[in-house]
Every structure is written in structure tokens, then in C-alpha cells.
């Protein structure tokens, strides 16, 4: 037998020892990485995608009967009656004011999947049926002018939807971009594949704005994000994409793990935002291709985009600390640079809203790649990736068969490029440059004024803002905060389907427009208070509300509806007169 002279041990044994040691070290490292990853996860369900999805599947459908609907917080009977009367008044107002708009909406409701989904998820599901039946304001609008939209009944409403963020400079601006942009490319029409000459100027301008070398065009923000991540993986030859808890990056499966996506994400790590432990994960692992940042998270780190459907208790805390977020991005930038990780800013939502040069300029931190979308094509559908040259290449000089494929029939569509060309050229006009002057001071002071008025009105509602992106916060425990959106709509303020979770102002709001919005906002809050929805009992704490709802779910799951809390789904919810 072969031995090692000095020790006298058989070589095979030594080999086995070394192998064992190697396996042990490897297992130890894996364990360490796993532990670090666990510590870098946010404690909420949004931080634990798989668990979130699993629990979501267990939540049973149940809804409140009429008595419970008005007294889900165990308010005294007279408060329930007060709310019922107010609900009836609001229902009558909605029925009269939005009659044609609702009629047309109902005609197509069963034929448009999106409508069915959004209608269902405007409020917590236990309340949804009654609200759908009685507080529907319809989904059709026919015109816009300045910050005002008009529906089929001729109602004129201040638009706080921002068209999901597309509307940065006001609807009139986009109408002109589309009209003038179309005129530029009309001779060519919808020829695809070859480029209209406006593309060259668009590319030059986007390079200058982003400070990056190359550009690619796509059809939506979701696709732009897909392509940026795909390229980062291709060039780093690494597997994982890191996103931060709560951040939205479109509806592609890998950036949207957990609830809402039926497929398990395999190559995505969701880490805690603004947290040293996340940086430790980035430093230690060697398999992370890229980090995606959606800077709007600065307003509500680690929480998903706020929506009234999740206002089970008091929902969302929010607040923006520019210095803290800047420092976080700087630290993130350094770690990514040190470890060969591609830093991608997803500016689909915030690009051109905070500053002409977007979040990069606003926070003073540069990314390796960035995505634009929404507003950048002057109101037409778009996704753009800007990146460093070595990251944007879709082939390798030395490996001709190893390519990174990306196509898209409609990419660089002449009409989209025409409207983009108008948009980008107008960015440099004094009128638009003026919009950015003192932009934060303007919006911060408007938010502060409104908060002051809300304080003076003694209502427990406030707003928090990141420049012109706002969210409504509720200061006391209640089961009914979601009702506020219906009071706001009654004041002719247009909200998107997430209700008070996100208000997006266009920069063409004048002081007079804003004053009108503020008046209506305060009036809505006062009325809601007067109508008893914000009644506050001693026992009504956030914890008590959550515990109660959990118990209801467990009961409903076990098919044992309690005496009055969780009733079986009823037919048409009529509005009786007695609790
Ligand atoms: C930050 C961000 N990224 C990506 C997307 C997806 O863009 P789109 O809806 O155009 O696919 C959105 C949409 O809201 C977004 O806000």
C-alpha cells in the first residue's frame, strides 16, 4: 500500500480527509451565505415571497353582511346607522352623477378582464361587493384639458392619477407631442425594422441625458427591465438578480416574485432596502449579476406600492428622507463597483419627474444601466434601456454563437419615435426647464400646507410626498380608511384604482389648481369624519384589528362563520335601513 513517508498514513485516507474537509468548508460557506441571506430579508411577507404566496392561497373568500359592513369595528349602533345613512347618500350621489359613465362601464365589465380585476380590488375584499354595487363611478373619460378630465356625464375632475406616472407635464403637452410627432413621421407611416431619421436624434439626446453609451428601444417598461436584467446576466455570467423588498419593476415574473405571480421565482433575491445586511450579501456572494433599484421606494422603503385594497387597518407609513436615501445609493454604488455587480436604476416611473436628468441627477449617483418608460415617448407606449457599451452588446466578438437575443416587433415604431422626439426636444425649452425650477420646494410646500389644513380640521389624515408623487397616511386605527377614496371622488377628484395609495400630480398644476384640490381634499376628510367612519373606540388598536381579521379568516377557512362577523357570500347587496 502507498503511504506518506512522514506520517505513515495511507494516501487514500489523507485524500478522504481532505475531501471531507473540503465538503465541510463548502457546506459551512453555503450555510453562512444562507444565514446572511435570511438576515437580509425584510420581516414582512413582502420580504418572503414564497411564504407570502403560500399564505395568499390560504386566504378564504368571505364578506361582511350589511350589519357587519357598517360596524366592522364594533362601533355603537348609532354610529353604524350614521354610516349607513351616509353610505346611502353617497350611493345616491354616485348613481345620479355617474349614470351614463357607469352604464357604459357595466356594458363591458364582463368583457374586459382588467376592469373586473380593478373593480374588485379597490377596497379590502370583505367590503368589496357592496362598494362595487353602490359606489361605482365608471371607467370612461372622453376628454382632458390641463389637469382636468371629463367623463361621459360631463363631470370634470382634477386628475390625481397621473396616468400611472406617464403624465409629468400635463395632458396638453402630450397631446401636442403626439400630434406634432405624428406629423414628423407621417410620410413613412408604420414601417418597422428600418428606422425613421428621428431615431438618431433621440438616441443622441438619451445618451446625453443618461450619461450612458448605448440605447435600446422596447415597447413597455416591463420589457426594458427584462432586457436590462438579461444583459447583466449575459455579461457577468452570473445567475441572480437582486431587487429590494416592495419595489415594483413591472409584471415580468422574475421581478415580481410572490403574490400575484403563479410561478416560483428561482433566480431572484429579494433583500431589505436601506440595510447594511443587504450590502453584506452583495459583498459575500459571487453569483449576483445585478441589483435593480426603483427610486420611488425612497417614499416607502420595504413596502409595496400603497393601495387602498390593503387598508385592512391603517396601512401605510411613508416619508421621504433625501439625505438618507442618497447615502444608501452611494453605498450601494460602491459595493456594486467593488464586486462587479451591474447597478440598474429603474427610472420607468420616476425618470424626468424629479429632475431633467432623473434619479441619477437628483441623488447624484450614476448607474451602469437604466431603464426609462412611461413619459419618455411623449404619451405613447415605450421602454428604453440605456447602458454602458460593454453591457449593452448582444454578442461576443470571440464567441459568435453566444448571443443575447432581444427583439420586439414594434420597437422603434415611427410614431412612438416621433412623439419621443418632440418630448426630448421640448425638455430643453425654457417652459419645461422652468417646471423643474424649485420643483421640490413647490411640492413640499403644497404638501405642508395641506397637512396644516388637515391638522386644523382635526382629521387624522396626512399626506407624505416625494416631490409630486404623494401618498395618503392615516394616523389612527380604523377599518374604514378605504372609504376616503369615495369621498374624494364625490368631490370630483379623480383617483386611480389604488385609491389614496398614490396620488400623482402633473407639473402643470398651478397654485390655483392646487388650492382647489386642497379645498376638496379637506372637505372630503371633514365629511367622512362627520359621517362617523373614523369613530374611535378604546379597544380599536392596529393589533386588535389585525387579530380580528385573522380570526375571521381562520373561521371562514374552517367554514364556521361567526354569528355576525363573517357571513357567506350573499346575492345582490341591498341597502336596508336597519343594522
Ligand atoms: C419602476 C417601474 N418599472 C417598470 C414598470 C413597468 O412598466 P410598464 O407598465 O410600461 O410595463 C413600471 C410601471 O409602473 C414601474 O413603475
For residues 266 and 158, state if they share a domain.
no
C-alpha cell at position 148: 382636468
Q: Are residues 376 and 478 in the same domain?
A: no
Whether residue 377 sits in one domain with residue 265: yes
Judgement on whether residues 430 and 470 belong to the same structural domain of the protein: no
- Residue 381 CA, ligand 1 centroid: distance in Å: 11
CA of 203 to the centre of ligand 1 (A): 21
Is 364 found in the same domain as 422? yes
Which atom of ligand 1 lies closest to the CA of 225?
4
185 within a domain of the structure (yes/no): no
Shared domain for 247 and 200, answered yes or no, is: yes
Same domain, 482 and 531: yes
Residue 57 lies in a domain: no
- Count of residues in the chain: 579
Using the mean position of ligand 1's atoms as its centre, give its distance from the Cα of residue 302 in Å.
Answer: 18
Of 375, 406, 436, which marks where a domain is finished?
A: 436
Range of the domain at 519: 66-168+438-557
Residues 358 and 447 both lie in one domain: no
Residue nearest to atom 2 of ligand 1 (CA): 249
Per-residue pLDDT for the chain (579 aa), expressed as one digit of tens each?
A: 455 555 566 777 888 888 888 888 888 888 888 888 889 998 888 888 888 888 989 899 999 999 999 999 999 999 999 999 999 999 999 999 999 999 999 999 999 999 999 999 999 999 999 999 999 999 999 999 999 999 999 999 999 999 999 999 999 999 999 999 999 999 999 999 999 999 999 999 999 999 999 999 999 999 999 999 999 999 999 999 999 999 999 999 999 988 888 888 789 999 999 999 999 999 999 999 999 999 999 999 999 888 888 888 766 689 999 999 999 999 999 999 999 999 999 999 999 999 999 999 999 999 999 999 999 999 999 999 999 999 999 999 999 999 999 999 999 999 999 999 999 999 999 999 999 999 999 999 999 999 999 999 999 999 999 999 999 999 999 999 999 999 999 999 999 999 999 999 999 999 999 999 999 999 999 999 999 999 998 888 988 999 999 999 999 988 755 544 444 444 455 566 443
State in Å: Cα 12 to ligand 1 middle.
Answer: 59
Cβ(144) – ligand 1 distance below 6 Å: no
pLDDT at 7: 56
Whether 529 and 456 share a structural domain: yes
Q: Measured on CA atoms in the order 229, 235, 237, 243, is the torsion positive or negative?
A: negative
C-alpha of residue 249 to centroid of ligand 1, in Å: 5
- Domain co-membership, 460 together with 366: no
Determine which helix (DSSP H) or strand (DSSP E) holds 66, and give its type and residue range: helix 66-70
Report the domain count for the chain. Answer: 2
C-beta of 221 in contact with ligand 1 (< 6 A): yes
| Residue 248 CB–ligand 1 contact under 6 Å | yes
Secondary-structure breakdown of the chain: helix, strand, coil percentages, each rounded to the nearest 5: 50, 10, 40
163 and 202 fall within a common domain? no
Residue 182, domain member (yes or no) = no
Q: Whose CA is nearest to atom 5 of ligand 1?
A: 250
Residue 457 lies in a domain: yes
Residue 61 placed within a domain: no
Element (H, E) at 107: helix 99-109
Q: Which residues of 270-309 are buried (b: 16+ CB within 10 A; e: fewer)?
A: bbbbbbeebbbbbeebeebbbbbbbbbbbbbbbbbbbbbb
CATH code for position 488: 3.90.1150.10
**448 part of a folded domain:** yes
What's the half-sphere exposure (Cβ side, CA atoms, 13 Å) at 170? 15
The answer as to whether 285 is a domain residue is yes
Give the CATH number, domain containing residue 267. Answer: 3.40.640.10
**Whether residues 449 and 414 fall in one domain:** no
Q: How remote is the CA of residue 222 from the centroid of ligand 1, in Å?
A: 6
Please tell me if the CB atom of residue 162 comes closer than 6 angstroms to any atom of ligand 1. no
Count CA within 13 A, CB hemisphere, residue 166: 21
Report the alpha-carbon distance of residue 295 to residue 305 in Å, rounded. Answer: 12
State which of 394, 412, 436 marks the end of a domain: 436
Residue 23 lies in a domain: no
Amino acid at each position: 500500500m502507498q503511504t506518506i513517508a512522514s506520517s505513515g498514513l495511507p494516501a487514500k485516507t489523507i485524500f478522504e480527509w481532505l475531501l471531507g474537509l473540503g465538503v465541510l468548508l463548502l457546506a459551512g460557506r453555503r450555510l453562512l451565505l444562507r444565514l446572511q441571506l435570511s438576515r437580509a430579508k425584510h420581516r414582512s411577507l413582502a420580504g418572503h415571497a414564497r411564504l407570502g404566496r403560500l399564505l395568499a392561497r390560504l386566504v378564504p373568500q368571505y364578506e361582511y353582511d350589511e350589519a357587519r359592513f357598517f360596524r366592522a369595528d364594533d362601533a355603537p349602533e348609532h354610529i353604524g346607522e350614521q354610516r349607513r345613512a351616509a353610505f346611502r347618500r353617497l350611493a345616491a350621489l354616485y348613481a345620479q352623477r355617474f349614470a351614463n359613465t357607469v352604464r357604459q362601464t357595466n356594458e363591458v365589465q364582463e368583457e374586459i378582464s382588467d376592469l373586473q380585476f380593478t373593480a374588485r380590488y379597490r377596497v379590502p375584499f370583505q367590503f368589496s361587493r357592496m362598494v362595487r354595487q353602490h359606489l361605482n363611478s365608471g371607467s370612461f373619460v372622453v376628454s382632458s384639458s390641463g389637469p382636468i378630465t371629463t367623463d361621459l356625464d360631463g363631470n370634470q375632475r382634477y386628475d390625481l392619477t397621473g396616468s400611472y406616472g406617464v403624465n409629468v407635464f400635463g395632458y396638453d403637452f402630450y397631446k401636442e407631442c403626439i400630434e406634432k410627432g405624428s406629423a414628423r413621421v407621417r410620410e413613412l407611416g408604420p414601417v418597422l425594422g428600418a428606422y425613421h431619421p428621428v431615431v438618431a436624434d433621440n438616441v443622441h439626446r438619451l445618451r446625453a441625458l443618461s450619461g450612458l453609451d448605448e440605447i435600446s428601444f422596447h415597447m413597455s417598461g416591463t420589457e426594458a427591465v427584462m432586457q436590462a436584467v438579461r444583459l447583466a446576466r449575459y455579461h457577468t455570467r452570473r445567475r441572480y438578480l437582486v431587487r429590494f423588498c416592495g419595489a415594483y419593476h413591472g409584471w415580468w415574473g422574475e421581478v415580481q416574485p410572490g403574490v400575484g405571480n403563479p410561478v416560483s421565482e428561482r433566480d431572484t433575491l429579494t433583500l431589505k432596502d436601506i440595510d447594511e445586511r443587504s450590502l453584506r450579501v452583495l459583498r459575500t456572494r459571487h453569483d449576483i449579476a445585478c441589483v435593480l433599484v426603483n427610486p420611488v421606494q425612497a417614499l416607502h422603503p420595504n413596502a409595496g406600492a400603497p393601495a387602498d385594497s390593503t387598508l385592512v387597518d391603517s396601512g401605510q407609513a411613508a416619508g421621504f428622507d433625501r439625505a438618507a436615501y442618497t447615502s444608501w445609493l452611494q453605498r450601494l454604488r460602491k459595493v456594486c463597483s467593488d464586486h462587479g455587480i451591474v447597478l440598474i436604476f429603474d427610472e420607468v416611473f420616476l425618470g424626468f419627474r424629479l429632475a431633467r436628468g432623473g434619479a441619477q441627477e437628483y441623488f447624484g449617483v450614476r448607474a451602469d444601466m437604466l431603464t426609462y418608460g412611461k413619459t419618455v415617448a411623449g404619451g405613447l407606449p415605450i421602454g428604453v434601456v440605456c447602458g454602458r457599451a460593454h453591457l449593452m452588446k448582444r454578442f461576443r466578438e470571440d464567441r459568435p454563437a453566444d448571443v443575447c437575443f432581444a427583439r420586439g416587433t414594434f420597437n422603434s415604431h415611427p410614431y412612438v419615435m416621433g412623439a419621443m422626439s418632440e418630448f426630448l426636444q421640448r425638455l430643453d425649452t425654457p417652459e419645461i426647464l422652468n417646471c423643474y425650477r424649485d420643483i421640490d420646494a413647490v411640492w413640499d410646500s403644497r404638501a405642508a400646507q395641506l397637512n396644516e389644513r388637515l391638522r386644523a380640521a382635526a382629521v387624522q389624515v396626512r399626506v407624505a410626498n416625494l416631490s409630486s408623487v404623494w401618498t395618503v397616511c392615516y394616523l389612527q386605527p380604523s377599518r374604514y380608511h378605504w372609504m376616503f377614496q369615495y369621498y374624494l371622488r364625490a368631490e370630483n377628484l379623480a383617483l386611480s384604482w389604488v385609491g389614496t395609495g398614490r396620488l400623482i400630480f402633473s407639473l402643470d398644476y398651478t397654485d390655483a389648481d392646487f388650492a382647489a384640490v386642497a379645498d376638496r381634499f379637506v372637505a372630503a376628510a371633514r365629511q367622512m369624519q362627520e359621517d362617523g367612519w373614523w369613530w374611535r373606540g378604546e379597544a380599536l388598536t392596529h393589533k386588535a384589528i389585525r387579530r380580528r381579521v385573522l380570526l375571521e379568516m381562520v373561521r371562514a377557512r374552517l367554514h364556521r362563520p361567526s354569528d355576525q362577523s363573517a357571513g357567506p357570500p350573499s346575492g345582490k347587496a341591498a341597502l336596508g335601513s336597519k343594522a
